[in-house]
């Protein structure tokens, strides 16, 4: 990580991107009134047949804001698409403030809904649920999640902007995150080490596949407004790096779930069936892993399908052929993420199982050797006294009664 750490190279890009922000600010306000008016159509009003209407209905909102200790009303235009999704009096909005010319008032424009209050409530509900159900282990998982986000913000994002190798950035950061989270949540044990080694193996498999498919399929990421904006501010190569690193990080959580479950299966089987040899233990644990694998693949597939649903609806609306649909930029990226993450976690199951069998076998052998050594170091009784002590005292044993005495 030290070799990949950015040393301020990303600051020049950020300074260039933020140069336009002088005097521009953001305020939050409450809608107190709405009205409609007729206005000229623009490209955002394009109809299904591709034409732009000459006139359309525009929506205006009167928003009460507080600025510099003063309350005032400002009127802003609201996109038609926003009003169709649910918009009315009492909604909180975020507005962009543009400074006016000398002696002129500032201008305001609609930016987004203000979602602080509902998001805070939902976050508090999540933490309460984790604390009630998971208790300390659940809270430790939340701490691990915060560490993961801190790693992404302080290392992954600056490193990608600085042009570091995306495969190394993704794999190294994922390995660090999992090392901290696993030992923090599950403690120091052979089982946790097994899960960590299996996770690291899965991460590198995922990284290799992500690098290959992003290159072979030319996944450049230029399928959304955010990616186009980032491409203009940086370079096209940086967008490909973001896609590649994103594939590595995307399946990290489900990969961890698979490996810790598989490691637990190996150690529980070893605990309750110590007579199993390595092959039998591997076979039994893999049976559990296969059941988990099937449900996990469904989870990944439906998760990505849900994210890509708006794009799928849009493509289906225009009647795109299935082959073209599945190989189009946005859909191909989602399919690639799904398949790369799935292959990584599938291979992580036998890898984790094999690692667990090897470690548990070594731990059992070491325990047996220690037990045998301790037994042989005890001084054996010698002479007649020793022989007398070694012979069982049959007279002192309680006599068996009833039917068991005759057996």
- The β-bridge partners of 75 are 62
Higher-pLDDT residue of 403 and 78 is 78
What is the tens place of the pLDDT at every residue in 305-324? Answer: 777 777 677 767 767 676 77
Per cent of the chain over pLDDT 70 is 73
- For the chain, the structural domain boundaries read 22-116, 129-366
- The β-bridge partners of 26 are 96
d(CA 260, CA 341) in angstroms, rounded, equals 16
- Among 3-17, 61-75, 115-129, 366-380, the least confident range: 366-380
Higher-pLDDT residue of 7 and 171 is 171
User: Could you tell me the pLDDT band of residue 398, with boundaries at 50, 70 and 90?
Assistant: very low
Q: Tell the burial category of 345 from Cβ atoms under 10 Å away from its Cβ (0-12, 13-18, 19+).
A: buried
d(CA 74, CA 61) in angstroms, rounded, equals 8
User: Domain 129-366 class?
Assistant: mainly alpha
So what's the pLDDT on residue 366?
A: 53
What is the tens place of the pLDDT at every residue in 280-295? Answer: 999 999 998 888 887 7
So what's the pLDDT on residue 10?
A: 56
Q: Tell the burial category of 358 from Cβ atoms under 10 Å away from its Cβ (0-12, 13-18, 19+).
A: middle
Alpha carbon 212 to chain centroid, angstroms: 21
Choose among 249, 234, 252, 10: nearest CA to 152.
249
So what's the pLDDT on residue 26?
A: 86
Mean pLDDT of all residues in the chain? 78
What is the tens place of the pLDDT at every residue in 69-111? Answer: 888 899 998 887 788 778 888 899 999 988 877 777 888 999 9
So what's the pLDDT on residue 392?
A: 44
CATH (residue range 22-116): 2.40.50.660
């Amino acid at each position: 990580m030290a070799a990949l750490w950015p040393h301020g190279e990303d600051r020049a890009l950020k300074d260039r991107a933020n140069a336009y922000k002088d005097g521009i600010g953001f305020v939050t306000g409450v809608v107190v009134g709405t009205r409609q008016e007729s206005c000229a159509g623009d490209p955002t009003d394009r109809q299904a047949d591709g034409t732009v209407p000459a006139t359309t209905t525009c929506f205006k909102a009167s928003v009460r804001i507080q600025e510099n200790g003063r309350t005032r009303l400002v009127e802003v235009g609201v996109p038609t698409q926003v009003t169709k999704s649910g918009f009315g009096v009492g909604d909180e909005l975020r507005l962009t403030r543009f400074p006016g010319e000398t002696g002129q008032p500032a201008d305001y424009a609609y930016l987004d809904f203000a979602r602080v209050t509902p998001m805070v409530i939902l976050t508090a509900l999540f933490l309460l649920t984790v604390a009630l159900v998971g208790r300390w282990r659940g809270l430790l998982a939340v701490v691990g999640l915060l560490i993961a986000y801190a790693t992404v913000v302080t290392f992954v994002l600056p490193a990608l902007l600085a042009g570091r190798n995306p495969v190394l950035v993704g794999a190294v950061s994922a390995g660090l995150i999992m090392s901290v989270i696993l030992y923090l949540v599950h403690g120091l044990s052979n089982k946790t080490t097994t899960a960590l080694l299996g996770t690291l193996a899965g991460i590198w498999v995922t990284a290799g596949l992500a690098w290959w498919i992003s290159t072979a399929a030319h996944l450049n990421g230029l399928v959304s407004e955010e990616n186009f904006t980032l491409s203009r501010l940086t370079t096209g190569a940086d967008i490909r790096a973001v896609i590649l690193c994103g594939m590595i990080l995307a399946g990290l959580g489900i990969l961890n779930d698979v490996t810790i479950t598989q490691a637990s299966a190996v150690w529980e089987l070893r605990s309750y069936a110590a007579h199993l040899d390595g092959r039998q233990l591997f076979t039994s644990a893999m049976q559990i892993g296969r059941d988990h694998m099937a449900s996990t693949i469904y989870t990944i597939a439906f998760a990505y399908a849900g994210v890509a649903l708006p794009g799928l609806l849009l493509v289906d609306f225009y009647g795109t052929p299935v082959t073209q649909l599945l190989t189009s930029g946005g859909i191909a990226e989602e399919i690639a993420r799904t398949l790369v993450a799935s292959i990584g976690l599938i291979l992580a199951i036998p890898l984790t199982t094999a690692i667990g069998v090897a470690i548990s076998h070594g731990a059992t052998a070491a325990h047996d050797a220690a037990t045998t050594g301790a037994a042989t170091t005890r001084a054996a009784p010698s002479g007649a006294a020793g022989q007398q002590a070694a012979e069982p005292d049959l007279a002192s044993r309680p006599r068996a009664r009833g039917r068991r005495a005759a057996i």
